[in-house]
């Protein structure tokens, strides 16, 4: 639902990057320089400084060229209307040296939005273009092709509360599209993401990741990407994901989690409902680090504590799943070579997870691949009302288990593969 405070008013234009008007509230129109050689970042920041509290910031139907980092983390009671496109530069060295800390896993970002009572509307056309093709080609040439230091997220919502974002489009994000950290009571509605590379396959382009956040609603998302469609990480609670269409990525993920040694983290009270999947690896999967610490985040770690509990996943329709519909791997260990670490010693507990009413087609015979910890076995796992078929119309009926206690709605049919994984299966 679009907040009722979004209104269209006539605003006088001027050439100074913003303009004020005596309407329902102080208003600023961002005026772009109309050239890739002109950084519109300063004009955007100036408009937010003038109208970011109890005001209105309007982006016109034009392209704004963003060549520098932007941090507007102090917003209050503001309407942000985006009718055009914000396009980020491809100066990779600038972004590697200047992207801002997210506050988790040594990740960084190009744009931070934070504050209270923030209302952003893209009207279905407002676009953030990360020019990711240049990043996708560049990262393929590096030894570290995933969490490269300084590679920025497109947008970080940091300490954002009581807010709503509607109708935004994200194209070819530089890395993760949206990181949501220390944010609470936020509705994210009708978001379109396409991180499909034109000239190189995208990597680590998650649709969204929640961290230390609660009461977040994802509704009516469309995501095309090559990694987690939506991922819930440390201390994500009361999360709702509904009415979404997810294509080509890994599916909805919990984790990775348990990456910080001796830190206690949870994911609790998650509702996932009415999701359409096309060519995703999984429908839903969980990935935790082992209890052995190998290196440090973002590409190393382990030894974390905590639990996942209270997850209900219902009404799922799949076309061409590439792996097990539901997967658990408690053997994430990016820094360790295969064979390093104990895949069954994670102290992170997975419990009270229910997946019901899943139908469609799959390329895998595996409905479930549950590689749980021997130290903290998976408990209270329900899988029911599954109707998955392969192309030859045979039923997918394999449920592979390791350290699964008293499953409900299904019977384990064999032993699960045990080995290092960051994507849910060996």
What pLDDT is recorded for position 19?
39
pLDDT in tens, the chain (426 residues): 333 333 322 322 333 233 343 446 899 999 999 999 999 999 999 999 999 999 999 999 999 999 999 999 999 999 999 999 999 999 999 999 999 999 999 999 999 999 999 999 999 999 999 999 999 999 999 988 878 999 999 999 999 999 999 999 999 999 999 999 999 999 999 999 999 999 888 889 999 999 999 999 999 999 999 999 999 999 999 999 999 999 999 999 999 999 999 999 999 999 999 999 999 999 999 999 999 988 888 888 999 999 999 999 999 999 999 999 999 999 987 754 344 568 999 999 999 999 999 999 999 999 999 999 999 999 999 999 999 999 999 999 999 999 999 999 999 999 999 998 989 999
User: Do residues 325 and 424 lie in contact, with contact meaning Cβ atoms separated by under 8 Å?
Assistant: no
Q: What is the CA radius of gyration of the chain?
A: 22
Identify the CATH class of 16-226.
mainly beta
What pLDDT is recorded for position 341?
64
What pLDDT is recorded for position 295?
86
Phi/psi for 43 (5° steps) reads: -65, -40
Residue 299 DSSP class: T
**Catalytic sites, residue numbers:** 227
Query: Half-sphere exposure (CA, 13 Å, Cβ side) for 326?
Result: 28
Distances in Å between the Cα of 158 and the Cα atoms of 54, 130, 207 are 19, 19, 16
Domain range summary for the chain, segments of one domain joined by +:
16-226, 249-426
- Contacts of residue 34, defined as CB under 8 A and 6 or more positions apart, other chains included, come to 62, 63
What pLDDT is recorded for position 24?
67
CATH 2.160.20.10 for domain 249-426, yes or no, is: yes
What pLDDT is recorded for position 155?
98
Do the first three CATH levels of 16-226 and 249-426 match, i.e. the same topology?
yes
In DSSP terms, which residues pair with 356 in a beta bridge? 314, 384
Other beta carbons less than 10 A from residue 28's beta carbon? 26
User: Do residues 373 and 347 lie in contact, with contact meaning Cβ atoms separated by under 8 Å?
Assistant: yes
Q: What whole-number distance in Å separates Cα of residue 357 and Cα of residue 36? A: 49
Q: What whole-number distance in Å separates Cα of residue 238 and Cα of residue 30? A: 36
Residue with tokens 């999360």: 239
pTM of the model: 0.93
Q: What whole-number distance in Å separates Cα of residue 205 and Cα of residue 104? A: 16
- Contacts of residue 181, defined as CB under 8 A and 6 or more positions apart, other chains included, come to 102, 103, 104, 156, 157, 158, 159, 210, 211, 212, 213
Element (H, E) at 87: strand 85-88
Q: What whole-number distance in Å separates Cα of residue 127 and Cα of residue 85? A: 5
- Contacts of residue 37, defined as CB under 8 A and 6 or more positions apart, other chains included, come to none
Burial class for 217, CB neighbours closer than 10 Å (0-12, 13-18, 19+): middle
What pLDDT is recorded for position 10?
30
What pLDDT is recorded for position 18?
37
Query: Half-sphere exposure (CA, 13 Å, Cβ side) for 134?
Result: 12
Torsion angle (degrees, nearest 10) of CA 154, 103, 287, 201: 20
């Amino acid at each position: 639902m679009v907040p009722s405070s979004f209104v269209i008013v006539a605003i006088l234009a001027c050439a100074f990057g913003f303009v004020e008007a005596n309407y329902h509230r102080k208003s600023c129109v961002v005026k772009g320089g109309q050239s890739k050689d002109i950084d519109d970042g300063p004009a955007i920041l100036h408009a937010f400084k003038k109208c970011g509290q109890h005001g209105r910031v309007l982006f016109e139907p034009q392209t704004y060229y963003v060549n520098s980092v932007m941090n507007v983390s102090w917003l209050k009671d503001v309407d942000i209307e985006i009718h055009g496109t914000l396009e980020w530069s491809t100066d990779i060295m600038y972004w590697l040296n200047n992207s801002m800390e997210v506050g988790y896993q040594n990740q960084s970002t190009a744009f931070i939005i934070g504050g209270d009572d923030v209302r952003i509307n893209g009207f279905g056309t407002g676009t953030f273009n990360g020019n990711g093709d240049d990043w996708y080609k560049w990262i393929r040439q590096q030894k570290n092709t995933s969490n490269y230091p300084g590679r920025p997220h497109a947008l970080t919502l940091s300490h954002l509360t009581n807010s709503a974002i509607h109708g935004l489009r994200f194209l070819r994000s530089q890395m993760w599209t949206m990181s949501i950290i220390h944010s609470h009571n936020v509705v994210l509605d009708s978001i379109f993401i396409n991180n499909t590379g034109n000239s190189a396959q995208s990597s680590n382009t998650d649709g969204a990741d929640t961290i230390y956040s609660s009461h977040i609603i994802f509704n009516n998302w469309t995501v095309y990407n090559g990694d987690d469609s939506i991922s819930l990480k440390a201390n994500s609670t009361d999360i709702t994901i509904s009415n979404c269409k997810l294509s080509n990525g890994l599916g909805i993920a919990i984790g990775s989690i348990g990456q910080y040694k001796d830190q206690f983290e949870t994911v609790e009270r998650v509702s996932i409902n009415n999701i359409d999947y096309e060519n995703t690896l999984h429908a839903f999967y969980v990935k935790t680090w082992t209890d052995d610490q190998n290196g440090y985040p973002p590409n190393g770690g382990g030894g974390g504590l905590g639990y996942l509990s209270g997850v209900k996943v219902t009404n799922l329709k799949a076309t061409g799943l590439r792996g097990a519909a539901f997967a658990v791997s408690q053997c994430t260990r990016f820094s360790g070579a295969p064979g390093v670490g104990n895949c069954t010693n994670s102290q992170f507990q997975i419990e009270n997870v229910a997946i019901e009413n899943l139908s469609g087609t799959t390329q895998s015979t595996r409905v479930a691949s549950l590689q749980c910890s021997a130290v903290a076995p998976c408990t209270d796992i329900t899988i029911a009302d599954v109707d998955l078929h392969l192309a030859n119309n045979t039923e997918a009926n394999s449920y592979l288990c390791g350290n699964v206690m008293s499953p409900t709605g299904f019977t384990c049919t064999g032993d699960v593969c045990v080995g290092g994984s960051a994507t849910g299966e060996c």
